[in-house]
Structure 1
């Protein structure tokens, strides 16, 4: 099978490629990102002995939709997984048009070129629970109530995709995952950043006192579910990838501090809550369990240990990389 991964430099995209290499012996993988391939300490598949099965193309979904379409057509790609996105909630207020260009309009441009390709078996859109706004026990059938340009741009992308499915039969699925984490994650995300700040002996800024409640799911569980959905799910369906267990950000940071032998009160600085951040979104994952008998297997404590090992192994490189979000226009 031939897989095309859009956003291959992203944490989730690179980890999904790594999962394919380990679990799909016949997979031929085409990786696309607008930046050159990241350093191997930041990209999971670059450390896989089977990485020669990956062909990387530096293409920008905003500007190179024709080249991407040609690549899909020429290689008769079976599965497309779209991880490409402008992320970040608060920052999306600073330049909302750029978020819509990447997350919505560029997708429309690509869809317009590929929706008639009958050889495509599935297009999986990696969406976000942010499209629902702040709520509890979110089910896949709930209304979209986005509260930021980021969330609105992702909701818009989901809707345009559905119109191509409904009108033209374009085979799509959506995944909406709770807070994904694991080795190789961006250093500004809460779990790797907490570990990094402790190792640097610097204080971590804890927004809103860390009161926000989240559920976390390990990237290995996300990759397994994503592949299962791509290959077996009925087109048009949405799936939540989430754990039923929850934890406040404060308790999460405290857990990491305890693992590293530190007192949380000496490691944090309390700061104001972020703009448009939803304090609560807890997702119902019964549909994934019911249809595919899939539940998360990696416990949060074990997953954090995995991140600690990655960071310790690569610390001399990682300490020199930015530990804050840098916007790329």
Structure 2
């Protein structure tokens, strides 16, 4: 078997950029692709320090540039394709559901058609979401039935179900991942942890939907990257793996922890608003399979991970005002 050769789709996403950096840290040369030009260096961990491997970026949009991607795949003969490319904002999917369906279903299925014809492909890693389960009770495993409650979740469920048919019918060597809420240095400012840090550092009010009652598990993206690499190299074809810790926290508790680290109070910094439509109350992913089959374990505690985000925000304090504080939709 040839040495692993990686291409990462959706590399401008927080998860994709961090995974590219993790691969480079492990000594892999990586081809990174995304639909937009690379963002500010503050959001690209692979540009913060020298790594044994290199990251090479190419601008490719799976919605419009599939022929260019096909040519690149066949020219470079990548053994591992890791796909983070998706429309991923939940609340905004109600405004433009057709765009979410286009990227997460139509273009994703077209990608699978392309990949099924590559005889040099060893693994395709399909990065998906626990949103497909809807709100859950208790710790759930990978066979939990789908019960999506937003256009985003519906689009991901459709893409996931389609992929299974490609595995079953064409033996596409695919594995899937579903991770708890990822976070870490470089994450977009409209996500809850960097948004809270930024608001507290700049004296802005943070709007908290529903008062922060929802319960989540937050997983540091470096831990998630370690899991994704293990799944890419050793995951069983056709299987899905949950990437999650077991440290439950409500959004309010999370915000309070961040503000305490920054010497701020909840009442001083937070405005409470109504819940957004279709918001799920809890995700509790049981990562037993990943831990027992592939020997993964999470290493970064939530307390340590938040401190790392604060350190990142302080390092790039002068650059953060140049970054998008709000999600900007791209069709």
Scaled by the length of structure 2, what TM-score is found?
Answer: 0.97
Could you tell me how far apart the structure 2 residues matched to 1:222 and 1:116 are? 29
> Counterparts of 1:294-313 in structure 2 under 5 Å?
294-313=296-315
Q: How does 1:1-329 map to 2 (within 5 A)?
A: 1-23=4-26, 25=27, 27-50=28-51, 53-136=54-137, 137-329=139-331
CA shift digits 1:224-245 (9 cap, x unpaired): 0000000001100001011111
Q: Runs (4+) of structure 1 moved beyond 6 Å?
A: none
C-alpha deviation, 1:186, in angstroms: 0.8
**Structure 2 CA distance, aligned partners of 1:56 and 1:170?**
26
- Contact 1:18-1:48 at 8 Å conserved across structures: no
Partner Cα distance (2:154, 2:49) in 1: 36
Q: Root-mean-square deviation (CA), in Å?
A: 1.1
Q: How far has the Cα of 1:114 moved from its partner?
A: 2.4
2: CA distance between counterparts of 1:250 and 1:81?
Answer: 33
In 2, the alpha carbon distance for the partners of 1:29 and 1:293 equals 24
Alignment partner of 1:283: what SS?
Answer: coil
1:52/1:294 CA distance change after superposition, 3 Å: closer
* Structure 2 counterpart SS, 1:239: strand
TM-superposed deviation, 1:221? 0.5
SS in 1 for 2:58: strand
- The answer to whether the 8 A contact 2:131-2:153 is kept is yes
TM-score by length of 1: 0.97
Deviations 1:51-97 (A, max 9, x none): 87222111111001111011111111010000001011111011111
- 2:29 and 2:53 in contact (8 A); partners too: no
Contact 1:66–1:110 (CA<8 Å) still a contact in 2? no
* DSSP-derived class of the 1:281 partner: coil
- Give the Cα separation in 2 of the matches to 1:204 and 1:320: 19
* Matched-pair contact (CA < 8 Å) for 1:66–1:113: no
Separation (CA, whole Å) in 2 of partners of 1:94 and 1:107: 21
Secondary structure of the residue aligned to 1:193 is helix
SS at match of 2:86: coil
Higher mean Cα deviation, 284-293 or 49-58?
49-58
Q: CA deviation at 1:117?
A: 0.8
Provide the C-alpha distance between the structure 2 equivalents of 1:55 and 1:199, rounded to a whole number of angstroms. Answer: 34
Q: Which runs of 5+ in 1 are unaligned?
A: none
Q: Distance in 1 between matches of 2:47 and 2:162?
A: 34
